[in-house]
Every structure is written in C-alpha cells, then in structure tokens.
Amino acid sequence: MTEADISEWANFGVGVAGATAALTGLLFVAVSINLDRILQFRTLPRLAGATLLMFSGALVSALLLLMPGQAPAALGTELVVIALGVGGPLVRLQTKTPRYEAGTTEVAWVLTRLLPSLLVSGLLAASGVTMWAEWSDALYLLGAGVTLAIVAGLVNSWVLLVEIQR
C-alpha cells in the first residue's frame, strides 16, 4: 500500500465525512426531540451514546483518510487507535446491565447492539493492522467498518426518533 493507493480513497472519505456529520446532527435532533421519552428507558441513553461513538469513529477515520501525504503505517496506527478508543467504550456501553428492555430477547440484543459494536471497532482495527502489513486491500476493511457504522447508526437513530413513540 502506498500514499497513492490511499489518495484513491479520497472521494470515499469525503462522502463518509459528509454523511456522518449530517447523521450526527440527526442523532442530536432525535435525542433533543425525545429526551424525556428516551430517559424513561434504561437502555436508550446508552443506545444514543453508542450511536454517537459509531458516527464519531467513522467521521474521524474518514477525515484521517483525507489527510494528504500520510504514510500508510501512520494511517494504520491512527485507525488502530480509533478502533480502541471507540471500541472499548462501545462494548462497555452495550454490556452494562440491563442489556435489553422487557419485550426484547437476548438474541436481538446481540444482533442489534453488541455485534455491530464489535464489528465496527474490529473492522477499523483490522484495517489498521493490515495497513501495517502493507496489504493492498486494507482500506476495504475500513470501508466495511464505516459503512456498518453508518447503517447501525441509521437504525439506532430511527429507534430514537420514531420507534420510541410507539
């Protein structure tokens, strides 16, 4: 992997940075509109926090991808640091008891809360490590991680904005 290989991902970085910045704004609107209702549930404030962490990890990763002239090893190190900085708090938020509200199952909690948290941070870390190893497709793992963060964040934002009213 070379600096030229990284620069080919600039358009992706611009798209991700714009999307995650806008979605973070949506998250703040959702929480602001429904704050009283969100606080009635023990798991929903953690869901909002986890969503903010996912969006933040994707946003910072995209911004670092856009930094010109950056060596692949440096970007790899930054991605591992982001993965650890986002992944630790994400897993902590998701594993605090109670894990889920009445009416949901532990399987649903694993699939919708824990698994996305582990995958987002794991894919970011794997991208960083494979950049150290000079694997030419390392940034595809980053692409998968930030895409998953955006999809999971969209679902979580929908829950915090719309589903909470049911």
Tokens standing for residue 42? 């023990």
For 14-47, write each residue's pLDDT tens digit: 999 999 999 999 999 999 999 999 999 888 899 9
The domain in which residue 153 lies consists of 3-165
98 pLDDT band, cuts 50/70/90, is low
Residue located via tokens 């670092």: 64
Q: Give the number of domains in the chain.
A: 1
- The pLDDT > 90 percentage for the chain reads 75
> What is residue 39's predicted lDDT score, i.e. its pLDDT?
93
Distance CA 139, CA 145 (A): 10
pTM of the model: 0.91
Q: Is the pLDDT of residue 133 over 80?
A: yes
